[in-house]
Chain A
Amino acid sequence: MLLNQFLLLSAVLFCIGVYGVLARKNGVLVLMSIELILNAVNINLVAFGALTADVGGEVFALFTIAVAAAEVGIGLAIVLLIYRNRRSIDLSEIDLMKG
């Protein structure tokens, strides 16, 4: 079983995703970076599930896919709302309140 390769791929995807969330200014690209992290999770789950011949990993991955779809639906709706109100989805311009 080539578990290491799967884990390496997923770790790389995870890092690219985290980098994208932190560095990207475009709202849609940040959403895509979050998807990358979730796909890294799915690769992990399926690889571990296959390794231990346990169906739990695949089931977990299916839940992740379904919930991620709902999450991104809401995210796109919020980004669309912001585009409608200010004609831009540049996250660095959204600074009415200082955290």
Chain B
Amino acid sequence: MLAGIAPMFGAAEFVRPAIDWHAAAPELTLLGFGALITMIDIGWLERARRIAAPLASLALLATLVPIITLALAGDDRSMFNGGFVVDDYSLIMKATFVLAGYVVVLMSTDYIAEGDYWENEYYGLLLSSILGMILMASARDLISIFVALELLSIPAYMLVTWRKRDLKSNEAGLKYYLMGVFASAVMLYGMSLLYGASGSTLLVDVNDAVSEPASPSAVVVLGIIFVVVGFAFKVSAFPFHTWAPDTYEGSPTPVTAFISVASKAAGFVALMNLLFVGFLGRDDVFEPLMWALAAASMTAGNLMALRQTNIVRLLAYSGVAQAGYMLAPLAVAGTVPPDKALTASVTYLVIYAAMNLGAFAVVIAVARKTRSAEISDYRGLFHYAPGLTVAMTIFLFSLAGIPPLGGWLAKFRVMEALIEADTASGLVLGIFVAVNSVIALYYYARIGFGMWAEDAPDGDLTPVNVPMSLGVALTLTAVITVAMGVIPGDVVGRFTEVSLLAGG
């Protein structure tokens, strides 16, 4: 054993790998601001509370600057032998994470301040979780995918448990933590097998090794299955979704919005990095796996959502179904040109982020008056909060996929990829998507009908007081949701039609 290690220490010269500071600028900016918030918290204690939220917003907007300059420069960059890559796919995902984080900060500002929670730590942890996500978008190496995953998950466990004295929040945190840690342990076991099969942690080398016919097949198949199952927990795909409804219900609502959008998107980004760079040569293994996960998630998620009486739990099950739609293009990733499947999933992720964050923003706004998340309390919303009703209708119908809203374009791209595959399994999955869209319309429309047509439960028509930051969050998400559907597809495509740089 020692004979194997000795030559490594005997290496005479250590050459520092070249670092492209511009490519790493988004991560470094966010890291700097996150450290600043933590230092200010330590130094100023209670006096720092007033500036924590504005500073977090500033941090996220400042992070957007290098992302935009990198997008304008337009060239693909790669560092550390291809372990860290900046291409148009990673840039659009980074921008999505940062904007989603910005909307979450806007939604949190009054919620956290009025609940008298620990504000400075809250924003520090939120920023470090977002740092993990934008790192994930560039990670093309098993180690950096693992570290990015933990960097985004560990702060999220703490944020879910944020209301320390509340038993429901404790329970939500424990369930999220146990499921998350168990999933990442299983994923790591799969990664260790893949490392063994390829002898390298770079995804490009993993792909070379697993595609070879001579590669030890059982180890590779087991490795791929374990890794995919690990991320299926993260994106709450059926049957690994059991934590999601309880965690969503028990955690503070802005944190629910954060984990249901940003954390789920990060899981998808990791999955896409692995599938499109690491396992593309073994589509015979991952395609059936993705097919089963996608079909089961849509169907089970929608059927369970039908019975829910709490809107947060309903959005949790609808999130399971939406994860199924996003997984669907990955089930034909080896059949259609890879960029086609990638574009469909990325388009869905970007639009899903806008509409789901918006739906949660309405839930937060309504709960300020009703102090409840029961669907029956949304009856008659139009009579005292017409603006919120219009916004909620936009988000729900977009989630259902009604034209001309963004969700329609998202579903269209998924169907396009499935039909282009022109295989029996692809077409059957397309039928699954179509049937499930109809089932989903029922429960989304039921909420809409109650809001517009029925009377308020106790005749209480005092208007909902929406604070300014929450209003900005609502406007931003509503505008993006509508614009994604209304603007001609090829303009939207300029942002969402992406190709993936393998690295190297």
Residue positions of A touching B, CB distance < 8 A: 10, 14, 17-18, 21, 27, 30, 34, 37-38, 40-41, 44-45, 47-60, 63-64, 67, 70-71, 74-75, 78-79, 81-82, 85-86, 91, 94-99
Contact = CB atoms under 8 A, between A and B. Distances in A.
Nearest to B9: A55
Given A55-B8, A58-B5, A63-B146, A71 B154 contact: yes
Contact of B174 (A47, A70, A78): A78
B497 interface: no
B171 interface: yes
Contact of B201 (A60, A79, A81): A60
A77 B322 CA distance: 33
B119 interface: no
Interface string B242-262: 110110011000000000000
Contacts, number: 130
A4 B189 CA distance: 16
Contact of A41 (B8, B167, B188, B243): B188
B150 A85 contact: no
A13 B181 CA distance: 17
Contact of A82 (B147, B170, B191, B246): B170
Interface stretch (B98-106, B156-164, B364-372, B413-421): B156-164
Contacts of A64: 146, 188
The B interface, classified by DSSP as helix, strand, loop or mixed, is: helix
B494 interface: no
B15 to A, nearest CB: 15
Contacts of B4: 49-51, 53
B147 A67 contact: yes
Interface of B: 1, 4-5, 7-8, 142-143, 146-147, 150, 154, 157-158, 161, 164-165, 167-168, 170-175, 177-178, 181-182, 184-186, 188-189, 191-193, 195-196, 199-201, 242-243, 245-246, 249-250
A48 B167 contact: no
B165 A85 contact: yes
A71 B250 CA distance: 21
A57 B161 contact: no
18 contacts: A27-B174, A37-B182, A37-B185, A38-B185, A41-B185, A41-B189, A41-B191, A44-B196, A45-B195, A49-B195, A58-B5, A64-B188, A74-B154, A78-B177, A79-B174, A81-B164, A85-B167, A97-B168
Contact of B192 (A30, A48, A86, A97): A48
Contacts of B196: 44, 47-48, 51
Contacts of B175: 94, 99
A38 B1 CA distance: 21
A45 B192 contact: yes
A43 B353 CA distance: 39
A84 to B, nearest CB: 9
B246 to A, nearest CB: 4
Contact of A48 (B172, B186, B199): B199
A78 B5 contact: no
A48 B196 CA distance: 5
Top 5 closest pairs, chain A to chain B, by CB: A48-B196, A44-B192, A37-B185, A50-B4, A52-B199
A63 B191 CA distance: 13
A44 to B, nearest CB: 4
Contacts of A45: 192, 195
A59 to B, nearest CB: 7
